[in-house]
Amino acid sequence: MIMAKSKPIEEIINEVKDFNKILIAGCDGCVTVCEAGGMKEVQILASALRMYFKQQGKEVTVDEISLTRQCDRPYVALLEDKIGQYDAVVSLACGAGVQFLAEAYKTKIILPGVDTCFIGVTEARGEWTERCAACGQCILSSTGGICPIARCSKRMANGPCGGSADGKCEINKEIACGWQLIYERLKELGQLDRFERPTDPKDWSTSRDGGPRKIVKEVSQI
């Protein structure tokens, strides 16, 4: 799941303070789960902006909507009949959703309302942690299902580095050493022999080759 966090209200106000009609557009996907961009957050942000403009003695229209997903054209197209009436749209979707909305409505100012952070999991209510760096060429089969790129502070594909102590990372003592976690998992699986087979250098062309990555799935002709 893509994780995001709300931008500071001061930053958003600075971007929208000169507009007269603003649409706050949420997304019912990942950012709703991590409580950053769903309808609840849309309503909270809209209320905060209305309060700000009222205090400034300025009449500004701030409307609310939330789309099923901002990363799919059919849902983005639902704004076609109404987006023209607004000076700007504040999107509470992830960075991909913001860009997709901007591509669909090229003459409209689309502003991000959240900071996209990482791909992660829900640890507890209000707590999310990174699990995947979306780097391509997944090596989880060699590391007991624990990603060294996301879990190791140094992004080491072969470890440990030798700087950890008591199972904690030398960079941040609050963070578990990713490779200690991998060792413990492989030990539980009876696969410690995998440490004798170093991971080949990562083919970073599968994750970054000079432009945006793309996946094309062949459609069956049957």
Using the predicted structure, report yes or no on whether residue 219 has a pLDDT greater than 80: no
What residues does each domain of the chain span?
Answer: 2-118, 135-196
Q: pLDDT per residue over 126-149, tens digit each? A: 999 999 999 888 899 999 999 999
What DSSP string runs through the chain? Answer: -EEEEEPPHHHHHHHHTT-SEEEEEEESSHHHHTTSSSHHHHHHHHHHHHHHHHHTT---EEEEEEES-SSSHHHHGGGTTTGGG-SEEEE-S-HHHHHHHHHHSTTSEEEE-EEEEEEEEEEETTEEEEEE---SS--GGGTTT--HHHHSTT--SS---S--BTTB-SS-TTSB-HHHHHHHHHHHHT-GGGGGSPPPPP-GGGT-SSS-----PPPP--
Fold of 2-118: Rossmann fold (3.40.50)
Q: pLDDT per residue over 30-86, tens digit each? A: 999 999 999 999 999 999 999 999 999 999 999 999 999 999 999 999 999 999 999
Q: pLDDT per residue over 73-105, tens digit each? A: 999 999 999 999 999 999 999 999 999 999 999
